[in-house]
């Protein structure tokens, strides 16, 4: 009787050890911290000529558990390549603002963004980390587009991004933007690198 209890206890402990030793399934997610709306009001000629920059508008926190990852951004608009117009001022002369007057700058401690400095957004993906195809593994290091598993809590130098926004409408004819109220949706997409 005593021997049966000992064998049962050993079997129970072995089953628990096997369950605890199983790997954690891969998961990929991110947190975004921002205001839901970011306003740019152009009130002076200087604003139109040199633009308005807003720093650290968005913080992206990447959690990549057991998987390599890619990060890209793109604009989504009702009419491709132009901002969505929601209000008109003083008639309709001028052009609709092109999406590329909005420029983004991704920064983190290790400078892991593939895009150096400000770049214009478009309705097509612009990759910050990785490409549309399978990429080689790049470890977390300075000035390298790191895509290895990690989290913003354990590897903030590679998995946490602050994003600046800059809008430069310009005043060069014939590309003078129509006065009005415009919106643009900026998408941030994190995908598993397959």
Token pair 């060069």: residue? 172
Provide mean pLDDT across the span 50-69: 96
Sequence-distant (6+) residues with CB within 8 A of 88 are: 178, 179, 180, 181
Structural domain includes residue 12: no
Structural domain includes residue 11: no
Provide mean pLDDT across the span 163-176: 90
Residue 165 pLDDT exceeds 70: yes
Provide mean pLDDT across the span 130-154: 93
Domain count for the chain: 1
Residue 143 pLDDT exceeds 50: yes
Structural domain includes residue 90: yes
Q: Domain containing 80 — which CATH number?
A: 2.60.40
The whole-number pLDDT of residue 37 equals 85
Q: How far apart are the first and last CA of the chain?
A: 55
- Euclidean distance between CA atoms 108 and 57, whole angstroms: 14
Structural domain includes residue 123: yes
- Euclidean distance between CA atoms 154 and 158, whole angstroms: 9
User: pLDDT over 70 for what percent of the chain?
Assistant: 87
Q: Of 13 and 59, which is predicted with more confidence? A: 59
Residue 94: band (very low, low, confident or very high) from pLDDT cuts 50, 70, 90:
confident
Sequence-ordered alpha helix ranges (H) in 22-113? 45-50
Residue 13 pLDDT exceeds 70: no
The whole-number pLDDT of residue 102 equals 97
Structural domain includes residue 17: no
The whole-number pLDDT of residue 174 equals 81
Sequence-distant (6+) residues with CB within 8 A of 34 are: 57, 58, 59
């Amino acid at each position: 009787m005593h021997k049966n209890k000992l064998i049962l206890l050993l079997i129970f402990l072995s089953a628990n050890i096997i369950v605890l030793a199983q790997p954690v399934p891969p998961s990929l997610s991110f947190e975004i911290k921002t205001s839901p709306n970011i306003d740019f009001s152009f009130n002076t000629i200087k604003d139109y000529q040199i633009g308005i920059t807003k720093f650290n508008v968005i913080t992206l926190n990447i959690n990549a558990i057991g998987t390599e990852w890619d990060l890209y951004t793109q604009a989504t608009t009702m009419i491709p390549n132009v901002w969505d117009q929601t209000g008109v001022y003083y008639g309709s002369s001028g052009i609709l603002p092109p999406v590329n007057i909005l420029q983004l700058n991704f920064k983190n401690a290790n400078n892991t963004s593939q895009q150096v400095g400000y770049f214009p957004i478009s309705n097509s993906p612009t990759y910050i980390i990785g490409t549309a195809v399978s990429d080689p593994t790049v470890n977390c290091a300075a000035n390298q587009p790191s895509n290895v598993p990690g989290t913003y809590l354990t590897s903030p130098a590679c998995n946490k991004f602050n994003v600046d926004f800059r809008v430069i409408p310009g005043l060069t004819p014939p590309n003078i933007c129509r006065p009005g109220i415009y919106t643009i949706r900026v998408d941030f997409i994190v995908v598993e690198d397959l």
